[in-house]
Amino acid sequence: MLHIALAKGRISEQVIAFLEAAGIHFPEYNETSRKLIFVDDTDSFKITLVKSPDVPVYVERGAADVGVVGKDILEEHSYSLYEICDLGVGRCRMAVAGIKGRSLPTGRRLVVGTKYPAIARKYYASLGERVDIVPLNGSVELAPLVGLSDVIVDIVESGNTLRENGLEALTFFMDLSARLIVNKGAFRFKRKAIDRIIACTKGGTEDGMD
Ligand code: PRP
């Protein structure tokens, strides 16, 4: 059986739709269920729905053979696994955003609220700018509104969250999408089933493997 870890939410819904369209059916799956593990009707594939930062952890440690996760997670941490292809779903961008119309402070370091401290640090380092990072876990858009930071570094998909909270994107600096990742051992020993998953999600483009 091939064990697939999916980031719960938008990505898992799209990937399960790909699998269903390719004839791999998960009879117990529905988007509103609180159930976390689903097995297909031939007992060949098992899906586990996990929080997105945990997907590569499952795959690296062999708790899952393959996984689908946003590139943001793979950029934020480094893992020993194969990144096979870009599935072309879950497209969004990493942005710097701030309160609409407000200019940035001068004469002191910029304070940046983010769920992605490594990505933010690397981005500002590439500009030669020293900033103070405030690591947060979610609802990052609140940070400038409550005076916790000057700007945020976060993913923007539709832009609705920024708009509805009176923020605006100042710079987009990284294109993101969902990636298929594979455990190194599984890539050798479960190749046939993995190739089937790659075929189901075809349309994705091959990436390099680290
Ligand atoms: C992500 C991101 C933004 C939002 C962007 O948050 O951190 O808040 O989605 O999407 P939009 O541009 O379509 O509005 P997520 O939904 O993962 O929740 P979180 O803020 O709790 O991390």
Ligand 1 centroid to Cα of residue 156, in Å, is: 7
What is residue 209's predicted lDDT score, i.e. its pLDDT? 44
Tokens coding 179: 């990636």
Please state the domain count of the chain: 2
Q: Give average pLDDT by consecutive 10-residue segment, the chain, 210 residues.
A: 93 92 93 93 97 97 97 97 94 97 95 98 97 97 98 97 98 97 97 92 54
Burial of 66 (0-12, 13-18, 19+ CB in 10 A): buried
Same domain assignment for residues 170 and 187: no
Residues flanking ligand 1, CB < 6 Å: 138-141, 154-161
Residues 86 and 98 in one domain: no
Residue 208's pLDDT is what?
44
Q: How confident is the model at residue 203, as a pLDDT?
A: 53
What pLDDT is attached to residue 10?
A: 83
Which of 73, 145, 161, 163 is the pocket-test mutation for ligand 1 (most atoms within 8 Å of CB)?
161
Residues in the chain: 210
Residue 184 CB burial class (10 angstroms; 0-12, 13-18, ≥19): middle
- Check whether residue 107 and residue 144 sit in a common domain: yes
The Cα 141–Cα 166 span in angstroms is 9
Residue numbers of the domain that contains 109: 92-175
CA 187 to centroid of ligand 1, rounded, Å: 32
Task: Identify the pLDDT of residue 202.
Answer: 67
Looking at the structure, do residues 149 and 190 belong to the same domain, yes or no? no
The answer to whether 55 and 24 are in contact (CB under 8 A) is no
CATH code (residue 54):
3.40.190.10
Say how many Å lie between the CA of residue 154 and the centre of ligand 1. Answer: 8
Residues 120 and 63 in one domain: no
CA of 124 to the centre of ligand 1 (A): 22
Q: At CB < 8 A and 24+ separation, what contacts does 48-52 make?
A: 48/3, 48/4, 48/5, 48/6, 49/6, 49/8, 49/12, 50/5, 50/6, 50/7, 50/8, 51/7, 51/8, 52/7, 52/8, 52/9, 52/11
